[in-house]
Amino acid sequence: MSMPSDTVPVIYIPDELRQSDRVQRLVKHFESKFGDKPVFLVRVPGRVNIIGEHIDYVGYPVFPMALKQDIVMAVSVNTSPHIELTNLDADNYSDVTIDATNLEFPQPPQWYHYFQCGYKGVVERYCNGQPPLGLNVAVHGSIPPSSGLSSSSAMVCASAFATIIAFHQKTNLLSIPIDKLEITQLCIKSERYIGTDSGGMDQAIAILAEEGSAKYIEFIPELTAVNVRLPEGVDFYISHCGVSMNKAATAYYNTRVAETRLAAAYIAKKLNISGYRLGDQLWVVQQASAIPLALMGDKLKEIFDPNKHSAIPLALMGDKLKEIFDPNKHSYNKAEIVSVLGIDNDELERTFLSRVSEPIDTFRLYQRALHAYDEAYRVQEFRRVCETSGDVDRLGQLMNESHDSCRDLYECSHPKLDQLVQHALSYGAIGSRLTGAGWGGCIVSLVPADKSPAFEANMSRHSKFNCKSGPSGGALIYKLF
Ligand code: ADP
Ligand code: NG1
Ligand code: MG
């Protein structure tokens, strides 16, 4: 098992990068806006999640890799209590001056609110009692936004790094190393200021990624990221379906989070699981009932037999779920749920729904739980196959099953995504699935290398953003002087 080095790299910018068109443009933009030179650059990549969708926030491992597409920020400290933000893409992201003493996060979110997330997280954690930290920042991003490739977390992580380094600089503590795991945890929490109750996949891969490897990322019992070598002879392609979806501007994401937590509460009650606390994630009930992931699906019927609890693996959870829930029932309403949980409506609202911005009356508990357990099992399988046979047909099958489950059980797909997946399969992909939160955005496809050129040419007729994605490295800080 290999872990990345412990601290975020802070290095002098290589000449080639300094001379690149993009960095030159960004630095010039910074200088023209602020009349001064930036002191450092921050680079944070986007990511593609190969498999393991919507299970980071229920506590199960995920399998992403970092992209070459990234967010870059040029930064210096200013002496005011203001954060001055400018973006190379001025058509989409207008310049803004933020009062650092009064950070607000109204709906719908604007681009600079993502910057505020990382800034606020760092200031609250490290700069307590200090005068407000003024910053000048110029931003450029190459990650298609709102497309499931995690541009939001790249923004949040980059702003956290910008803030922490600026703070070190201002306080002459530039040499203090930034612990990767610590800053990852901070960024995970910080992005929640935007309103989404997200898991930690995006921030973890953005910071912990190492060039050349995908990562198997676990959250329980603690955050760990293990390199997993992808099989030879295949390429991963990302293709955009043409529809974008800003997660924090809608209630979809938090509704799914709420449904998984309600499902966990329901299962815990039905199984009489001790140690479960209201609001816990789905992994808690599976672990507490000692049901292996592989058995969660098929064995739910047996859940009422206490003698069998200790022998049920995750793969059988599906069967178990059929006994706890009525699989043919479309959804559960609040009255049904509170009567099983033995709580009142107020407690239901407070514990499960306070972060869901739209009224919601019905909950698809069985379908969401089944997706989560099965998807968690597929991630385990995917890693096992990568590390053993490297059987790419099996990997493709797992990706296809994942997409079907996202579409039918988790309902986070979009007709355009489904259509693009079908195109990808018809042009030779062995597996293809939506990536990221969904409801629009991108798919990821597994393609035999010898079919890649034709695949790319064909897919580009259906998708404006369509490219091969190799595993890139994680976040970096470049000193300019
Ligand atoms: P994603 O799937 O890319 O993470 P989100 O909906 O979570 O999508 O967040 C996208 C938001 O991140 C955008 O609406 C915008 O506010 C912000 N963002 C993304 N890229 C940039 C950029 N280059 N410059 C400024 N803000 C950006
Ligand atoms: P995107 O689509 O990149 O915003 C989101 C979450 C992840 C994860 C995936 C679904 C955030 C910051 N990211 O990603 O934690 O839950 O959806 O697997 O909310
Ligand atoms: Mg996002």
For residue 481, the CA-to-ligand 1 centroid distance in Å is 30
Query: Are 458 and 442 within one domain?
Result: yes
User: Within this chain, do residues 304 and 410 fall inside the same structural domain, yes or no?
Assistant: no
Q: Based on the fold, state whether residues 242 and 228 are members of the same structural domain.
A: no
Cβ < 5 A residues, ion ligand 3: 152
ipTM over 0.90: yes
Q: What is the pLDDT of residue 314?
A: 74
Distance, C-alpha 341 to centroid of its chain: 30
Taking residues 291-317, report their average pLDDT. Answer: 57
- Give 316's pLDDT tier (boundaries 50, 70, 90): confident
- Between the CA of 45 and the centroid of ligand 1 the distance, in Å, is 13
SS3 state at 75: strand
Among the candidates 364, 381, 396, a domain finishes at 364
CA of 436 to the centre of ligand 3 (A): 8
Using one digit for the tens of pLDDT, what is the confidence trace for 385-420?
999 999 999 999 999 999 999 999 999 999 999 999
Q: Are residues 343 and 374 in the same domain?
A: no
Structurally, the chain folds into a number of domains equal to: 3
> Looking at the structure, do residues 18 and 84 belong to the same domain, yes or no?
yes
Task: Based on the fold, state whether residues 9 and 56 are members of the same structural domain.
Answer: yes
Residue-by-residue DSSP string for 145-196: TTSSS-HHHHHHHHHHHHHHHHHHHHTT-TT---BHHHHHHHHHHHHGGGS-
For the Cβ of 121 lying below 6 angstroms from any atom of ligand 2, the answer is no
Q: Report the C-alpha gap between 337 and 340 in whole angstroms.
A: 5
| Domain stops at, among 299, 334, 364 | 364
377 pocket-lining for ligand 1 (C-beta < 6 Å) = no
Predicted confidence at residue 5, as pLDDT, reads 65
Query: From the CB of 153, is ligand 2 less than 6 Å away?
Result: yes
Same domain, 146 and 8: yes
Provide the domain limits for residue 435: 238-247+370-468
82 and 206 inside one domain: yes
Q: Do 317 and 457 reside in the same domain of the chain? A: no
CATH of the domain at 462: 3.30.70.890
Q: Same domain for 59 and 187?
A: yes
Same domain, 332 and 380: no
Residue at a domain's end among 337, 364, 391: 364
> Dihedrals φ, ψ of 379, to 5°?
-65, -45
Phi, psi of 281 (to 5 degrees): -85, 170
pTM of the model: 0.95
d(CA 30, CA 63): 36
Note whether 228 and 181 are same-domain residues. yes
Residue 359 maps to which CATH number? Answer: 1.20.1440.340
Continuous segment of H or E residues that includes residue 326: none
For residue 429, give both structure tokens.
């992909």
Tell me if residue 91 is catalytic: no
Segment 281-305 shows an average pLDDT of 70
List phi, psi (to 5°) of 261: -70, -40
Q: In CATH, what number is assigned to the domain containing residue 40?
A: 3.30.230.10
